Structure formats: C-alpha cells, structure tokens
Copies of this chain bind each other. A is one copy, B any other.
C-alpha cells in the first residue's frame, strides 16, 4: 500500500509541528523550518550525529533527525546545564530529540503509527540505502543558528 500524497503531507505536517513544539517549549528559542522537499534515497545527507527511529503500523517507514555536535551541545547546556558534555551525553541527546519528536507524532496518530527505539550513530556511513518504494521527505531546520535535518521515509 503506497502512501497517498495527502496522507504523506499530513504526516509531515505533524512532524513539523512536533519539531516546532520541541524547540519552542523546551528551549524557548523558536526553530525555523525551511521548505520541505522530496528526495531520492541516493545522496541523503547526514550530519555528525543521527537519531533514527523505525515506523510501523498502517505504513512502514523511518524518521531520523541529524545535526552537528554543536547543536546537541547547546541543547544539553539549556536542558541540563552542562557546558562540557561527554560523548555519551551527545549520543543520548541525539536519541532523545528523535524519540520525543516521533513520540509526539505517535501520540497524534494513535495505534496505527508505531515507533521503534532510537538508534543513534555518529558519522556518515559510506552508503545509506532506503528501499525504492519509500518516499523520502526532507525538512531542513535552523535552530539557534544550527542547521539540522528531519528526514521522513514512508512506504
């Protein structure tokens, strides 16, 4: 079953709202979301740290949030007050943001939208491959002058 354009757009809107809420409520600094665009699986960009979560239920897919270390450092500074976070803190933060953002979308969509645990990785694998029948939507974010990406894939 392929995702209809309208349904896909609706899911992306929920992600956009969830990201906006995350930054506004938790950091009191608004995020700017740039125009989302459809992307092919080849050439997907990853930044320093990526928190990836599987999606299942009515549709299968994934979502990931990818940002550079400095954005996670700023978030940790604001949330926990740590100025010099460990590698572990950064990895946890990257997992946490993707989990909260996806969790809020899940809370909106209910039992037909289920999420897995976040797997966080540092660095860009040599190649990253998504199945051909997955539509990919990239939402560029700027928060506190840091650029990040929310990438949503749905079958």
Contact = CB atoms under 8 A, between A and B. Distances in A.
Interface residues of A, number: 36
Interface in A117-155: 117-131, 134, 153, 155
A39 to B, nearest CB: 14
Interface of A: 52-57, 60-62, 87-88, 91-92, 94-95, 114-131, 134, 153, 155
Contacts of A123: 125-127
A155 B56 contact: no
A153 to B, nearest CB: 7
A47 to B, nearest CB: 12
A119 B55 CA distance: 12
